[in-house]
Amino acid sequence: MDQLRTLIMVHEAGTALGAARILGREQSSVQKQIDTMNRNFRELCGEPLILKQGRGKDVLFTGTGEALVELARGTLGEWLDGIHESRRRLGKTLVVGTTRFTLSYLAGAGERVSEEFRQRAIDLKVGHVRTRDVLAKLRAKDVDLVCGSVVTRPEGDDELAAFDVMEWRRSGVSLLTNLSEAELPGPTAPSSALRSLPLVVSASGLMAGVLHTWFGGDYRNKLRIAAEIDTVNYGFELLRSGLLRGCMLVTKGVADAAGDPRVAYGRGLRAVELVNDTGPRLEVLLGAFTRRGERASYDAGHPLNLLWDALAQENARWQREQRWPTAGLEPDPFELANSYNPSES
């Protein structure tokens, strides 16, 4: 296994010296392994794995060498997957993904289980997951639990059938705009009005999924796209700056929160709720997700179940303690926490 790992590193780095630096070993140790593999495969296949190209040049992999590198990657990958699956089943490792807006929520739940995890030497790994990848990461078994948002339908969604869902809240879709009321009357507007409004849209993510569902995969050719953005925060700044006059799709929770004077991102912008008249009614579901049936296959003391219960307690605390002075659906506390700048109040 160590020889295969070394072979892969030489292939990626180009030289034994480069591989040694990546592996934190002496160049002579790496070169010795390469020489041994070359000798063995010359006898087995009639061709070495690697040919030297001269001082300072990257080595050249033969056909046999390239084939073995691919085989090595697959072999080591399967071994690592098997080890991780065993650690997951035994409760030694727990991998959690979170979007930016749910990180503080997960942190609160993490505090509830941190001492037990420490005593039991449970390795909790936390990583950033983009909203568009929330369910994909679970399907690929890259994470065991993920906190985030998905677009769904009020009557149910077949896509969620493969997951256990802890629903924290649902939100409709609204617009944040710097257009005047003469240009875009409020407080509501039909979703069909999006065809004629100048829009600031995300390249991917929840709202791109909403537009795709309502207007089809070629929605960019059907709508007036005034600007395409990589992050929602940039969209807020763009509209607040006045450089562009238009609208941006957001969850109703974000739009409602924009009316709170403590929230920095919404200043100077107006919220208009969308009334759907275009396609299926859509909602944004915020919550925690795991693969269906996986928690039930573990005992109550498994770290996945412990963290799931802690998230439920954290959700109850938020609902019990948070009271925001905005009408309608309560703005999401995570979004408020990431938008509120105390120095500006």
Q: Quick one: pLDDT at residue 261?
A: 61
**CATH superfamily name and code, 91-168+286-321:** Periplasmic binding protein-like II (3.40.190.10)
**Mean pLDDT, residues 243-257 taken together:** 84
Question: Could you read off the pLDDT of 4-44 as tens digits, one per residue?
Answer: 889 999 998 989 888 898 888 899 999 999 999 999 998 88
Residue range(s) occupied by CATH 1.10.10.10 in the chain? 1-87
| Residue 335 burial (10 A CB sphere; 0-12, 13-18, 19+) | buried
Q: In the chain, pLDDT over 70 holds for what percent of residues?
A: 87
Mean pLDDT of 304-327: 76
| 55, pLDDT greater than 90 | no
CATH architecture of 1-87: Orthogonal Bundle (1.10)
Q: Are 256 and 331 in contact (CB under 8 A)?
A: yes
What local confidence, expressed as pLDDT, does residue 253 receive?
72
Domain(s) labelled CATH 3.40.190.10 in the chain stretch across 91-168+286-321, 173-281
Average pLDDT of the chain, as a whole number: 82
Could you tell me the pTM of the whole model? 0.62
User: CA-CA distance, 16 to 268, in Å (whole number)?
Assistant: 59
Q: What are phi and psi for residue 180, nearest 5 degrees?
A: -75, 165
Count CB-CB contacts under 10 A for residue 92: 15
pLDDT tops 50 at residue 329: no
Backbone angles phi, psi at 70, to 5 degrees: -65, -40
pLDDT number for residue 93? 82
- What is 173-281's CATH number? 3.40.190.10
